[in-house]
C-alpha cells in the first residue's frame, strides 16, 4: 500500500493505493491522524483500494472518531463496490461520510 498526501487549500487529500491489511493499516492510521491534526477536512481517496481488512476498518474508525472529536470532517471518496460491501457489512456506511 502507498499513500500520497495532497495538501490542498481547503482540505487534505490522502490517495491510498493498494491493500489495507494488518500490515499496512498502522501507517494508514498514522497518516489519517496526522491529516486530521492539520486540517478540518480530510478526504480519503479509495479509488485504488482493492481490499480492506478489519484492522483497516479500525484505522478508519479511529480516524472518524478523531475527526468528530475536533468537529472536523473525514470523507471517503471513490469507494469501490467490494470495499463498500465490507463497509456495509460492518455498518460503517452509517457512520462515515461519503463524497
Partner 1 sequence: MSDRMRRSIRNKLVTMAIVVASIAIVLLGIVSWGGFNEMKRSSYVMSTDLVAISAEKTEEIIRELALEDLKHLAEGTANVLDAKVEQLVDELEMSDIGSVVMEINIGDYGAAFVVNDDGDVLIRTHLTDSADGVVTKKENIFESETPEIIEMITKITLGESGIFISNYGGQEMYWAYEPMDTMPWTVITLFNANEVLAPVMQAKEQTNKLALQAQQEAQNIARSSMIAMIAGMAASAVLATLVGFIYSVKISAPIRKLEDGVRRISKGEFDGKIEINSGDEIENLATAFNNMTKDLKQHIIDLTTVTAEREKIGAELDIATKMQLSMLPNQFPAFPEYSQFDLYATMVTAKEVGGDFYDFFMVDDKHLALVMADVSGKGVPAALFMVKAKTLLQNFAQKGTSPSEILRGVNHELCVNNDAGMFVTAWIGILNVDTGEMNYANAGHNAPLIKRTGGNFEKLKCDANFVLAGLEEINYTQHTVSLQNGDYLYLYTDGVTEATNAKQELYSEARLVDFMNASEIVSAQSLLEEIKEDVDKFAGGEDQFDDITMLGLIFNA
Query: Which residues form the interface with partner 1 (CB under 8 A)?
Result: 21-22, 25, 53-55, 57-58, 61-62, 65, 88-95
Rounded Cα–Cα distance for residues 79 and 72 (Å): 20
Minimum Å gap between C-beta 12 and partner 1 is 20
Nearer to partner 1, 53 or 80 (CB): 53
What are the distances in angstroms from CA 12 to CA 53, 83, 87, 88?
A: 24, 22, 22, 25
Nearer to partner 1, 7 or 89 (CB): 89
Amino acid at each position: 500500500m502507498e499513500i500520497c498526501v495532497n495538501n490542498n487549500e481547503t482540505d487534505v487529500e490522502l490517495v491510498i493505493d493498494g491493500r489495507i491489511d494488518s500490515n499496512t493499516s498502522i501507517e494508514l492510521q498514522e497518516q489519517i491522524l496526522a491529516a486530521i491534526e492539520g486540517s478540518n477536512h480530510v478526504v480519503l481517496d479509495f479509488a485504488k483500494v482493492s481490499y480492506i481488512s478489519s484492522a483497516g476498518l479500525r484505522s478508519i474508525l479511529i480516524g472518524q472518531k478523531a475527526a468528530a472529536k475536533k468537529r472536523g470532517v473525514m470523507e471517503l471518496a471513490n469507494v469501490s463496490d467490494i470495499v463498500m460491501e465490507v463497509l456495509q457489512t460492518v455498518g460503517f456506511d452509517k457512520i462515515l461520510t461519503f463524497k
